[in-house]
Structure 1
Amino acid sequence: MSESPSPHEIRWQHDGVRVVGADRLDANTAQTPGMDRKAAINFARVGAQRLWAGTVHIHANAKTGAHHHGPLESVIYVIKGRARMRWGERLEFTAEAGPGDFIYVPPFVPHQEINASRDEVLECVLVRSSGEAVAINLDIEPVEKPETVRWVDPTHPNG
C-alpha cells in the first residue's frame, strides 16, 4: 500500500522551488520603443515577495535620463553587448560592463543607464530587491543626453 502524501509534501510540491524556462518568460510587461523586457520572477508569476527578475534587451544607443530607484537595490548581469553606467551627483563617474560582468546599483544612487553601442543590442538580466517599479527622475543634466530612443519602462517612465 502506498501512503498518501502528507500536507507538507503537498505544500512543498506546489509552493517550493520554481523553474521558469527561457521559453516561458512573460513579455506581458510594459513595452516601449528601445527596450524589450520579459519577467521571469515576480509576485504574479511565482509569488516572489521581495524580488523582480527578468531579461532586458536594450536597443542600440538607448539611454535613460538621470534617476534613482529609491530604497531598491539593483543587479544587472550583462549577457551580450556593452553597458555604460554614469553615476554621482552630476553623473560624473562612469564605468562600462561587458558579457559576464555584474553591475550593482545601491539604493538612492543617482545614475544613468546607457547602451554603449550605436549598433548592437544590449542583452541583460535584471534583478531588483522589490517587485515594485520605483524610479525617481532627477533634475540633473545627463552627461550623455538621451537621443534616438529613450530607455522608458515602468521604472523609467520619463526616460
Structure 2
Amino acid sequence: MAECKVIRGGAAFHGKQGMDYFAGISAESAGSAGICMHMLVLPPGGKARPHYHESHETAIFQLQGSTSFYHGPNLEFLDSVAQGDYVYIPAGVPHQPFNPTDQIARALIARTDPNEQESVVLLPDSASRL
C-alpha cells in the first residue's frame, strides 16, 4: 500500500535547463507516479536554456519576485509573470524563462512527469532569445 510522505527542505540541484531547483516531490524523493513539484530560485539576470517538456504539462506559481519568458514554436511570444501569478505550459511547447529584474525570483513548479529531468528536451543554443 502507498504511504504519505513529508519531504523536508529538499536538496538543491542544477537542472539541464541551467536553473537551480530545490527538490520536492518526485519519483525519486517520494515515489510519485504522475507528478513532480519543486521550487525554482532564479537570481537577478538568471535565465534558462530554451527547452520544452516532451509529453508533460507544467504549472507554475510565482511565489516571489517577477520573471518573464519567451514561448511558442520559435520563442516568438513574450509574457511577464508577477508575484501571485499562475502559468500553464502545455506539453511540447518551447519556452525560455528569465529574470530581467535585480531581485531574486522564486516559483513553485509542478509537472505531470514524476521524473523531473527525464522529459526535458534542450533546444539548440542558437534558438535562445537571450
Question: What TM-score comes out, normalization by structure 2 length?
Answer: 0.83
Please tell me whether residue 137 in structure 1 is matched to residue 122 in structure 2.
Answer: yes
Report runs of 4+ in structure 1 exceeding 6 Å deviation.
Answer: none
1:96 equivalent in structure 2: 80
Q: How many equivalent pairs are there? A: 126
Q: Any conservation in 1 of the 2:5–2:30 contact (CA below 8 Å)?
A: yes
2:32 equivalent in structure 1: 48
Q: Which runs of 5+ in 1 are unaligned?
A: 1-10, 146-159
Letter in 1 for 2:127: E
Q: Structure 1, residues 122-153: CA drift from partner, whole Å, max 9, x if none?
A: 1010111112212212235322x2xxxxxxxx
2:111 equivalent in structure 1: 128
How many angstroms apart in 1 are the aligned matches of 2:122 and 2:30?
30
Q: Structure 1, residues 15-57: CA drift from partner, whole Å, max 9, x if none?
A: 444444xxx121153479x743212211233221111112111
My pick for the range that moved more, 44-53 or 133-142, is 133-142
Structure 1 30/66 Cα, relative in aligned 2: closer, same or farther at 3 Å?
Answer: closer
Q: Is the helix fraction higher in 1 or 2?
A: 1
Please tell me whether residue 116 in structure 1 is matched to residue 97 in structure 2.
Answer: no
> Percent identity of the aligned residues?
25
Question: What TM-score comes out, normalization by structure 1 length?
Answer: 0.69
Letter in 2 for 1:109: V
How many angstroms apart in 1 are the aligned matches of 2:56 and 2:15?
21
**Structure 1 residues 10-49: aligned runs within 5 Å:** 15-20=2-7, 24-30=8-14, 35-49=19-33
How many angstroms apart in 2 are the aligned matches of 1:57 and 1:122?
6
Partner SS for 1:131: coil
